[in-house]
Amino acid sequence: MSTAFFYDDLYLKHDAGAFHPENPERLRAILRGLKEAELWDRLIHVPPIEATEEQILLVHTLDLFEFVRAASLRGSYQVDPDTHISRHSFDAALLAAGAAVGAVRGIMENEFSNAFAAVRPPGHHATPNHAMGFCLFNNIAIAARLLIQQYKLKRVLIVDWDVHHGNGTQDIFWDDPSVVYLSLHKKYHYPGTGWEDETGSDSAQGTKINCPIANHSHYMEAFRAGLAKAEQFQPEFILISCGFDAHENDPLGNLGLTNEMYSELTQIVFDFAAKFNHQRVFSILEGGYDYDALAKASAAHVQVMLNHS
């Protein structure tokens, strides 16, 4: 077995708007980075299949599903100052969610060891009933819910190292003790959520672990501390909301992370999974807006995944 790579050219057709930082060049940079690092031919290339309406509704309302579809049919719709829906956005969003579905299924059914998906639009800001923050459907949340409902896993861990807090993912699983959510994000940054006292409600208390970061010098220490809190839940699968916008060169985030730090973060995740006698890891692209950083950091990330395949 090896590492699966999920990608489709349709992702390039999602138009977030003129001069928008979330644009097709992001994915072209990742493809270039994987080829330049001579990783491309070592990957299992899996064409994603669109998620079904039923799969989207695992975490979203029917109203949101119909809204995104209608706005896309309209051809152009501005959801908020950051989030635009174009003619191809609905299809691209279904295919992004479908990559998440296909990846976790393939790992659970031993078709490949682990997987990375380079998709657009990203997902972790999408709440049950709202598209926001460049995101239409919450790709990683759909994958997590599928693992719980279809594969009957008891605990799933989502690790979110995008520079922005994944408010949508946290909202979706706020009352759900089966999904542990660990987020490291820039303090006082968009969307303004993800404080230490946001830990989940009722039976889910303690399963939401937020680490707002002010200085990158404490990043690895905070990451290890967050995983230490998650360890008690003994996750059976680890999903990564893989934003590269905490990179030192990123124009929107810039929390000071280096390519080597992304490699180290990935290795720490695999070491953590080994504590529970598995290597079930799936990573999906969220943010990251410097093309050179995307190329090199994604290659560093995927290299570690290949080392564990």
List pLDDT tens digits, range 65-94: 999 999 999 999 999 999 999 999 999 999
Q: 104-161 pLDDT, tens per residue? A: 999 999 999 999 999 999 999 999 999 999 999 999 999 999 999 999 999 999 999 9
Residues present in the chain in total: 309
Mean pLDDT score, 273-280: 97
Domain boundaries along the sequence of the chain? 3-307
* 216 pLDDT above the threshold of 90: no
Of 121, 26, 49, 118, whose CA–CA distance to 79 is shortest? 121
Q: What is the pTM of this model?
A: 0.97
Question: Quick check: 272 pLDDT over 90?
Answer: yes
Q: What is the mean pLDDT of residues 249-271?
A: 96
**Closest C-alpha to 14, from 3, 6, 22:** 22
CB-based contact 297:248 (threshold 8 Å): no
Average pLDDT value for the chain: 97
Instruction: Tell me: pLDDT of 300 over 90.
Output: yes
pLDDT recorded at residue 254? 80
The CATH class given to the 3-307 domain equals alpha beta
Written as six digits, the tokens of 59 are 């975490």
Confidence of residue 215 (pLDDT cuts 50, 70, 90): confident
Omega into 81 within 30° of 0, i.e. cis? no
- The catalytic site residues sit at 125
What is d(CA 151, CA 155) in angstroms, rounded to the nearest whole number? 11
Give the mean pLDDT of 42-52.
Answer: 98
